[in-house]
């Protein structure tokens, strides 16, 4: 019953202008600050789906929407969002049934106006859909004439994932933003492969520094090692869309602990 009600609202909400929807949801989020952690979370999940719609467009905030979380967009959506007042409020993780239940309760309790409830419902329905992985074959020719092929696996505001198959087999390419042009990302992966290959001397030179820094960690942990890696190699690999850590091990037998 609750999903049917949400679907009815969502059918009306899908037609809403994306910036109007995000403005309404930002105001709804503000209204839940200091009131309900669950309420903020439901609104935030719904807003993420509208943010993805914005990311595919060419509006003033679209580029930011491809890279930043919703909380960073809110001050740019409405002046009612005061960073100093609202940034301290957080959200939590929710399972699909919790999101649907929370949305339904907001509808039944008339927590917001009808239009806000409609765009909220559309966002929650999208957020609770089964995660869709793509398998789209992409190809492009590099400036040096090399034919590059790959498979686009996922493409949303959390990131864009590809696997190159030609000329390098099973090469993972990742960028933590929505890249609308998958061919462009494939070219970047090819370029980064060439760049990393030429870095061997510098990578090896920094490896003892990395090991020494690891040995000085007060408490060994995956996060600590990750931070040390970024401190030592961050500038060298800045902007790279390849998994440099795994390639260092595969190519040069340099184990990143």
The domain segmentation of the chain, as residue ranges, is: 2-127, 132-194, 199-257
Condensed to tens digits (0 to 9), the pLDDT of residues 93-103 reads 999 999 999 99
Percent of the chain topping pLDDT 70: 100
Q: Residue 36 pLDDT more than 90? A: yes
- 217-226 long-range contacts (CB < 8 A, ≥24 apart) are 225/256, 225/257
Nearest to 25 by CA among 49, 51, 52, 43: 43
pLDDT of residue 256: 80
| 221 pLDDT tier (thresholds 50, 70, 90) | confident
Q: Quick one: which H or E segment has residue 175?
A: strand 171-175
Mean pLDDT within 7-24: 97
- Say if residues 174 and 160 touch (Cβ distance below 8 Å): yes
pLDDT of residue 146: 97
pLDDT of residue 148: 98
Condensed to tens digits (0 to 9), the pLDDT of residues 146-162 reads 999 999 999 999 999 99
Q: Residue 132 pLDDT more than 90? A: no
pLDDT of residue 1: 65
- Say if residues 182 and 136 touch (Cβ distance below 8 Å): yes
- Say if residues 23 and 77 touch (Cβ distance below 8 Å): yes
Average pLDDT of the chain?
95
Mean pLDDT within 178-200: 97
Q: Residue 82 pLDDT more than 80? A: yes
| 63 pLDDT tier (thresholds 50, 70, 90) | very high
Q: What tokens were used for 164?
A: 């190159």
């Amino acid at each position: 019953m609750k999903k049917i009600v949400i679907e009815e609202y969502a059918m009306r909400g899908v037609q809403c202008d994306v910036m109007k929807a995000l403005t309404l949801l930002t105001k709804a989020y503000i209204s839940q600050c200091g009131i309900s952690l669950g309420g903020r979370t439901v609104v935030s999940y719904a807003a993420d789906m509208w943010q993805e719609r914005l990311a595919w467009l060419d509006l003033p905030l679209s580029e930011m929407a491809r890279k930043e979380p919703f909380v960073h967009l809110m001050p740019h959506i409405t002046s009612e969002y005061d960073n100093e007042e609202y940034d301290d409020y957080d959200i939590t993780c929710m399972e699909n049934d919790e999101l649907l239940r929370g949305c339904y309760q907001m509808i039944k309790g008339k927590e917001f106006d009808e239009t806000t409830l409609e765009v909220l419902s559309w966002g929650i329905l999208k957020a609770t859909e089964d995660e869709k992985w793509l398998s789209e074959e992409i190809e492009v020719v590099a400036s040096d004439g090399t034919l590059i092929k790959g498979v686009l696996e996922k493409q949303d505001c959390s990131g864009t994932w590809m696997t190159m198959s030609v000329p390098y087999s099973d090469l993972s390419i990742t960028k933590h933003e929505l890249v609308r042009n998958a061919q462009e990302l494939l070219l970047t992966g090819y370029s980064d492969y060439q760049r990393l290959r030429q870095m061997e001397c510098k990578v090896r030179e920094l490896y003892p520094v990395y090991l020494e820094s690891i040995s000085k960690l007060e408490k060994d942990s995956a996060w600590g090692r990750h931070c040390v890696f970024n401190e030592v190699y961050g500038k060298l690999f800045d902007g790279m869309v390849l998994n440099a850590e795994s390639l260092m091990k595969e190519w040069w037998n340099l184990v990143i602990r």
